[in-house]
Structure 1
Amino acid sequence: MQVKVFANLREICGGVTVEVKPDGDRVMDVLDKMCEMFPELHEEIYTEEKTLKPFVHVYINGRNIVHDQDLETHVKESDQFALFPPVAGG
């Protein structure tokens, strides 16, 4: 599955698109595999309770996962997966 990453996550992941082969078919499986591949990513996106940090957003096919099943949202290889970190500015 291809995951598009934005802002400072591009530096952590080494580019705009990351090829991920998750061990399951949920958003959390994709993110867990990414954290395995890029350990620094974990502290950028997860709280200590392993929920997404405030203002970290995951979109599947343009739809925010909070409007679906959050981290339990199922994904397919063909889905467009986008990961956005908190962004400051104005």
Structure 2
Amino acid sequence: MLVRVFANLREICGGVSVEVQSEGKRVIDMLDKMVEMFPDLKDEIFTPEKELLPFVQVYINGRNIIHLDGLVTIVDEQDQFALFPPVAGG
């Protein structure tokens, strides 16, 4: 599955898109695989309890997972998966 990453996550993952092959079909499985591929990603997206950090956003087909089933949302290969870090600005 192609995962789009934004802001500082692009630097960690080496580009705007990352091909992720996960055994599981849930959002958490995809994120775990990404952390396996890019260990520095862990502290950027997860709390020590393995929840998403505040303001980290995951979108599946343009919908925030908080409006779906959260980290256990099922994803399919053809879905659009986007990961956004916390962003501040003014």
Q: How many residues align?
A: 90
Q: TM-score, normalised by structure 2?
A: 0.99
1:12 is matched with 12
CA RMSD across the alignment: 0.3
**1:10 and 1:27 mapped to 2: Cα distance?**
19
Deviations 1:28-74 (A, max 9, x none): 00000000000000000000110000000000000000001100000
**1:78 corresponds to 2:68:** no
Q: Which portions of structure 1, spanning 4 or more consecutive aligned residues, are displaced by more than 6 angstroms?
A: none
**2:23 and 2:36 mapped to 1: Cα distance?**
11
User: Gaps spanning 5+ residues in structure 1: where?
Assistant: none
User: Gaps spanning 5+ residues in structure 2: where?
Assistant: none
Q: TM-score, normalised by structure 1?
A: 0.99
User: What SS does structure 2 have at the residue aligned with 1:77?
Assistant: coil
Q: Percent identity?
A: 71
